[in-house]
Structure 1
Amino acid sequence: MIDKSGIKARYEALSPHLDERGRRLFAASEARAAGYGGIAAVSKATGIARSTIGRGLSDLDAGEGANGRIRRNGGGRKQKIELDPGLLPALNELVQSAIRGDPEAPLLWVSRSQRNLAKALVIQGFDVSHVLVARLLRKLGFSLQGNRKTREGSSHPDRDAQFEHINAKIKEFQAAGWPAISVDTKKKELVGDFKNGGRELRAKGDPEPVRVHDFKIPELGKAVPYGVYDITDNSGWVNVGIDHDTASFAVESIRRWWFDMGLSRYPKANGLLITADCGGSNGARVRLWKHELQRFADETGLNITIAHHPPGTSKWNRIEHRLFAFITQNWRGKPLVSHQAIVQLISSTTTSKGLDVHCQLDNNSYPKGIKITDAQMKEINITRNAFHGDWNYTIAPRRTLCAQEVLAHD
């Protein structure tokens, strides 16, 4: 591969000390050293025309020394920006005004492609082509750039302190031998032979056929995976719903994890720590979430401590990068043709560090629009933490269950 950056660096270092003939010979020498494709590479790196490099190669072959003349007086074509000094500033203003969001900018709401820029300059009276615009853009220091996810929105002033609080709580529950879990809803998926991101090994020229359009198939519906990740045990539980993602569905998923996996692993636990996002079905402001957790606490006798992640930090929720990321990787390139296929793909997810995942289909209905009254809220046995009681609170059972009741329910 030809090192264009090296050619460019050497040219920029020597060019101020060379006349036109010297630059031509330098470019020709670099092109010859580069071999096949050298003329095109050197032309792109230096901006010297290919025809000029060709003449330089002829000079090298002729072996003639300098004769004191570079070209005839006044010879050579002037650069466009020399003939029209206003061209470069006009192009720069076109791009910059669109970036700034200037409402008068002609390119604010269309693609800032080289052809569109050339059209806008022609309207202003300049004689340019999209090829010239490309060269001038490089001269101005512009290049094609994609979007990059870096903005997280406004950062809460207590964000770091809340993370420290969550980590301290996890260590506290782990030291006591009590469960600490991370919960969230994975992205909803349409069920059927739809395209699924990623690639899977198949015979060459035989890709998996899928539907062209992603329209919901009524008889198959959708899948709503709600996950529970056991932070200490490095194990996951996913409850795949077929209805709405409500707080009732979220707590039912936690309840199923507890009776199927949690109770046997933590038989002596008196408390459960749940770390969750600040929004969604398990949001800090969702009344139904707290109401359903109270029912769960009454049913199990557990003191349920909740620690919400600060707003705008859902990607730091442990379940995202310790469970959901591996599920997505495991089913990449595979159409999710049925609920059973989804359950099997999730259940077969493992990692080299011993992640174990269990999955179950939930055929229940979870209607939207359930309202919790002020009177019902007052009945919740909730204790809010001194630090951000809106994010950190404990819901205790309103009565104590004996061990026989718990086992009988199980």
Structure 2
Amino acid sequence: MGSPEGAEAVLAAKFKTLLPHLDERQRRLAIGAEARSLGHGGIRLVARAAGVQEGTVSRGVAELELGQAPLGRVRRAGGGRKKATELDPGLLPALLALVEPDERGDPMSPLRWTTKSTRKLAAELTRQGHRVSADTVGNLLREEGFSLQANAKTVEGAQHPDRDAQFRYLNEQARDHRDAGDVVISVDTKKKELIGNYKNAGQEWRPAQQPVQVDTHDFPGQAGKAIPYGIYDTAANTGWVSIGTDHDTAAFAVASIRRWWQARGRHDYPQARRLLITADAGGSNGYRTRGWKTHLADLARETDLEITVCHLPPGTSKWNKIEHRLFSHITMNWRGRPLTSHEVMLQTLAATTSRTGLTVHAELDSGQYPTGIQISDEAIAALPITRHRFHGDWNYTLHPASHPPHPDPARQDRPPADACALITRHTLEHPDLTGMTRQQLSDLTRTLIPGLEERREQARHAARGGPRRVARGTGRKPTLTPADQILATILYLRKLAPQELLGQLFNTTAMTISRAVKDVRPLLESHGARIPASTARFRTPADVARFLTLGNIKIKSAC
């Protein structure tokens, strides 16, 4: 009859045609006869083909072998055991109440905080007066569309408000470096690995029943360790992995980049004068790590490269190109294979490739990288670093000795002594802040002022409960002029700064800014004025002053 799959298909076609014309006894005998003719394994094969329980087939075989008359019995229509849900109408609602409390938020469910296995569900239903077995519970759940489900990693959590803007800015920087023939690399530390005869996740093809034998326990203190730090060249599609044996520190991260540059980078890009590094927001190459910036400054001085770093926003490390262009292929290449030594790990890394032509070089770094090294405020202040106008904490450039930062004090990355004193209303009308030219801002202001004044008059009329008693233009002056209210609202809708900071810049309170936004926003919407968000974010007046004085790095306008 051929393969088991082919035999099952033939039997299924035969049973589909024949069995509907037979009664219960005849069907049982027919499938029993087929099972006897097939020999070993026939019962299971026939049961699958006929869509019945294996016990039914076994009963047919037994009746044929006994040879007694009459063989079996014929059940009249509607006979046989009733379903559990028919005998106990309250069984199914009680079961659903146990398995769905999370969706309905039932805090009193007896199984809310325990594993809902079929055995525990059956025990709880029996305690409630519904006698049922674990197998019946499983059948009922499947009939209702339930199945065993694992957790799905789909909820990202709160995202940073500047996440998309940072990705746009990072892509612009990468495009600018590539177009100029400079270098763009993506860096990160891969998951630490144990070196020894330990289990490695995944599976690989081996003779049946002959898995690789590994130790039953993984004790990190007794095992060697490997810290893979990767550098991925996005243009050349090449990877470099340094295997550290000490600690994952900023010094180790920069040492890996230095080794890559000396061995590959300077030869692949002999004309390059700039290096762009895209890195995660945390870890040994995090934007808060002082050692990372300090060692990068040393690297910039040694290589005479202008090193720019753009960090991925918090919570987006899996979007780093090195993750899905290098690390994922490495993980697939050594899956199910114990990393018994550093040499095995290096050879496996070097053999990693992909259909797009990825090549990987791996080296062992047995250097010592102690932790707990402190970097003083003075050392950080002395670094040749320029923070970019957009999110200077995530984006910054370290200059080599031959290209120091601009010496003009007004362009230094230190906040002015009195930032608010340097910021006037004229500076707040700067096109980079408002997203429009000064003429466009002036025209919009003239258009909105009449409606704003009329709205203010209506509000005061309602508060007085009658007409004004003094002439217009007399009495207490408003804290903000109508033009200031419009300008403050535009800056707020541009998401440049919170209301507290805008209050400082306009010499008023956050409550006054809030009232201005409440009054002006409807007028902007009624006139069809769309205020797009900016890519810049400020937290202090010094940030605003620095943004207006630093001009060496251009950011994309949000107009």
Question: Structure 2: how far apart are the matches of 1:321 and 1:162?
Answer: 20
Contact residue 191 and residue 217 of structure 1 kept, 8 A: no
| Change over 3 Å in CA distance of 1:333–1:79 after alignment to 2 | closer
Corresponding residue to 2:245 among 242, 254, 260: 242
| 1:125 equivalent in structure 2 | 129
Instruction: Report the CA distance between 1:353 and its aligned residue.
Output: 2.7
| 1:175 equivalent in structure 2 | 179
| Change over 3 Å in CA distance of 1:180–1:50 after alignment to 2 | same
The reply on whether 1:253 has 2:252 as its aligned counterpart is no
| 2:435 equivalent in structure 1 | none
Name the % identity: 53
Instruction: Report the CA distance between 1:227 and its aligned residue.
Output: 0.5
Corresponding residue to 2:357 among 348, 354, 357: 354
TM-score (norm 2): 0.58
The reply on whether 1:140 has 2:159 as its aligned counterpart is no
Corresponding residue to 1:188 among 181, 185, 192: 192
| 1:114 equivalent in structure 2 | 118
Question: Structure 2: how far apart are the matches of 1:334 and 1:145?
Answer: 28
Question: Structure 1: how far apart are the matches of 2:205 and 2:137?
Answer: 43
The reply on whether 1:320 has 2:323 as its aligned counterpart is yes
3-state secondary structure, aligned to 2:307: strand
Deviates more, 1:205-214 or 1:364-373: 205-214
3-state secondary structure, aligned to 2:100: helix
Residue deviations 1:337-391 (CA, integer Å, cap 9, x gap) = 1112222221222334322222111111112222222222211222222222222
Where does 1:6-405 land on structure 2 (aligned, <5 Å)? 78-98=82-102, 102-203=106-207, 205-216=209-220, 218=222, 221-399=224-402
Residue deviations 1:89-148 (CA, integer Å, cap 9, x gap) = 211111111556654332233221111111111111221112221232233321222222
Contact residue 101 and residue 108 of structure 1 kept, 8 A: no
Instruction: Report the CA distance between 1:275 and its aligned residue.
Output: 0.5
Question: Structure 2: how far apart are the matches of 1:122 and 1:393?
Answer: 66
| Change over 3 Å in CA distance of 1:77–1:339 after alignment to 2 | closer
Contact residue 251 and residue 289 of structure 1 kept, 8 A: yes
Contact residue 98 and residue 106 of structure 1 kept, 8 A: no
Instruction: Report the CA distance between 1:320 and its aligned residue.
Output: 1.2
Question: Structure 2: how far apart are the matches of 1:324 and 1:210?
Answer: 24
Question: Structure 1: how far apart are the matches of 2:337 and 2:80?
Answer: 61
| Change over 3 Å in CA distance of 1:334–1:132 after alignment to 2 | closer
| Change over 3 Å in CA distance of 1:345–1:217 after alignment to 2 | farther
Instruction: Report the CA distance between 1:41 and its aligned residue.
Output: 6.9
| Change over 3 Å in CA distance of 1:244–1:135 after alignment to 2 | same
| 2:521 equivalent in structure 1 | none
Question: Structure 2: how far apart are the matches of 1:286 and 1:80?
Answer: 64
Contact residue 182 and residue 230 of structure 1 kept, 8 A: yes
| Change over 3 Å in CA distance of 1:247–1:101 after alignment to 2 | farther
Q: Which has the higher contact order (CA 8 A, sep 6+)?
A: 1
Deviates more, 1:373-382 or 1:94-103: 94-103
3-state secondary structure, aligned to 2:276: strand
Contact residue 99 and residue 108 of structure 1 kept, 8 A: no
3-state secondary structure, aligned to 1:389: coil
Instruction: Report the CA distance between 1:209 and its aligned residue.
Output: 2.5
Contact residue 382 and residue 393 of structure 1 kept, 8 A: yes
Contact residue 92 and residue 140 of structure 1 kept, 8 A: no
Question: Structure 2: how far apart are the matches of 1:180 and 1:197?
Answer: 32
Instruction: Report the CA distance between 1:81 and its aligned residue.
Output: 3.0
- Letter paired with 1:128: V
**Structure 2 unaligned runs (5+)?**
10-19, 36-44, 61-75, 405-559
Cα-Cα RMSD: 3.4
User: In the comparison of the two structures, how many residue pairs are matched?
Assistant: 362
Deviates more, 1:380-389 or 1:284-293: 380-389
Question: Structure 2: how far apart are the matches of 1:308 and 1:131?
Answer: 53
| Change over 3 Å in CA distance of 1:158–1:97 after alignment to 2 | same
| Change over 3 Å in CA distance of 1:233–1:71 after alignment to 2 | closer
Instruction: Report the CA distance between 1:229 and its aligned residue.
Output: 0.6
Deviates more, 1:105-114 or 1:361-370: 105-114
| Change over 3 Å in CA distance of 1:42–1:122 after alignment to 2 | farther
Contact residue 251 and residue 293 of structure 1 kept, 8 A: yes
Contact residue 152 and residue 313 of structure 1 kept, 8 A: no
| Change over 3 Å in CA distance of 1:77–1:239 after alignment to 2 | closer
Instruction: Report the CA distance between 1:202 and its aligned residue.
Output: 4.5
Instruction: Report the CA distance between 1:254 and its aligned residue.
Output: 0.8
Deviates more, 1:199-208 or 1:378-387: 199-208
- Letter paired with 1:386: R
Instruction: Report the CA distance between 1:86 and its aligned residue.
Output: 2.4
Residue deviations 1:213-263 (CA, integer Å, cap 9, x gap) = 112364x62000100011111111111100111111111111111111111
Question: Structure 2: how far apart are the matches of 1:146 and 1:257?
Answer: 41
Question: Structure 2: how far apart are the matches of 1:265 and 1:76?
Answer: 80
Question: Structure 2: how far apart are the matches of 1:181 and 1:271?
Answer: 11
| Change over 3 Å in CA distance of 1:244–1:103 after alignment to 2 | farther
Question: Structure 2: how far apart are the matches of 1:137 and 1:258?
Answer: 59
3-state secondary structure, aligned to 1:307: strand
